[in-house]
């Protein structure tokens, strides 16, 4: 599954990455590579927590769902691919 992620970078700040389909799932990094690596760890952690609670991983949304949301204004969008089969049982 490919989760959409929103990347923000303000002047004099770190890169901030949010996963809208996984509320509260975010990371920061001094570099974009650091932020992306960190968000992958956060997604994995969130999916493990959901599985431990017996919850199913949410289906990824299309970026268009969030694109016009003012919370994500100015974001750069990417997809992060995750194999969620281990979290569906």
Identify the structural domains of the chain with CATH numbers, from first to last: 2-87 (3.30.160.250)
| Residue 65 C-beta-side C-alpha neighbours within 13 Å | 11
Res 88: pLDDT: 57
**36-85 per-position pLDDT tens digit:** 999 989 999 998 898 889 888 888 999 999 988 999 999 999 998 877 66
pTM for the complete prediction? 0.84
Alpha carbons 89 and 84: distance in angstroms, whole number: 10
Tell me the pairing of strands 76-81 and 2-9. Answer: antiparallel
What is the DSSP secondary-structure string of 38-49? HHHHHHHHHHHH
Res 30: pLDDT: 93
**56-67 per-position pLDDT tens digit:** 888 899 999 998
Q: Is the pLDDT of residue 89 over 80?
A: no
Res 69: pLDDT: 93
């Amino acid at each position: 599954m490919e989760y959409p992620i929103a990347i923000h970078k303000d002047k004099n700040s770190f890169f901030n990455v949010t996963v809208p389909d996984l509320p509260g799932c975010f990371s920061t990094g001094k570099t974009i590579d650091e932020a992306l690596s960190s968000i992958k760890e956060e997604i994995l952690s969130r999916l493990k927590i959901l599985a431990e609670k017996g919850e199913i991983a949410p289906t990824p949304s299309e970026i268009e769902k969030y694109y016009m949301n003012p919370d994500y204004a100015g974001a750069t969008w990417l997809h992060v691919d995750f194999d969620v089969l281990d979290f569906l049982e």
